[in-house]
Amino acid sequence: MPRMGFSNRTGYADRRHAGQVLAQRLSGADLVDPVVLGLARGGVPVAAEVARALGAPLRVCVARKIGAPGQPELAVGAVTAEGPPTYDPRMVRSFHLDERALAQACEQERAEARRREERFRPGEPLALAGRDVVLVDDGLATGATARAAVRMLRESSPRSIVLAVPVGAPDAVEALRSEADVVVCVLQPVGFSAVGQWYRDFRATSDAEIDQVLREFA
């Protein structure tokens, strides 16, 4: 059961708490042979609680944001280990950029995505064809990494893709509805500014923490 203290105004104690609340929201979903994927790094501890509640296997999904010049935390796009990058046209225009100007940053992030995929692969990849995939992150700000991940997962022919997050910017949530088959977002605060605003403990998730979670599901 989720810890006491959750509300639409105070948010979550930490990522584990957020995952418990999100799992409750998903508990009635009619899912066929589900697989839960946590977006590395912060989405993994959230996804672990969802996977436990659904009795589903857990894997790590990697998508890397392509940051704006001088503002690396502000995503103008995102890229996965394979496939083309995705860009937010409005953000690209606002910084007077184009794909050529972002090519180097894109390849650096793609290389890091490949490294992390190898790092967090517990064994043989799970077949996703014909299964319901639940993609979990700790929140949506611009939605860039989630969009890139959803597009990559489409290539594996899942039965459906459910994007599930504890909190998100309303415009990002709405935009992702055209990408995923279902979007589940518990909190969509008016005046959203940052995902971490809705967690009392939002410390960065370490590689060691992800390793521990994966061992629990081995």
> pLDDT tens, 20-72?
999 999 998 999 999 999 999 999 999 999 999 999 999 999 999 998 888 87
194 within a domain of the structure (yes/no): yes
Domains in the chain, number: 1
Each residue's pLDDT tens digit, 58-109: 999 999 999 888 887 788 899 999 888 999 888 888 888 888 888 999 999 9
93 within a domain of the structure (yes/no): no
Whose CA is closest to 120, among 28, 188, 195, 47?
47
pLDDT recorded at residue 75 = 84
- Find the CATH number of the domain harbouring 126: 3.40.50.2020
DSSP conformational letter for 9? T
- Structural domain range at position 146: 15-62+117-216
Each residue's pLDDT tens digit, 125-183: 789 999 999 999 999 998 999 999 999 999 999 999 999 999 999 999 999 999 999 99
77 within a domain of the structure (yes/no): no
Tell me the two tokens of residue 179: 């990408």
Mean of the pLDDT values across residues 188-211?
A: 95
94 within a domain of the structure (yes/no): no
Distance CA 203, CA 15 (A): 9
pTM, whole model, 2 decimals? 0.90
68 within a domain of the structure (yes/no): no
185 within a domain of the structure (yes/no): yes
Lowest mean pLDDT among 3-12, 120-129, 200-209: 3-12
A 10 A CB-CB count for 161 gives 22
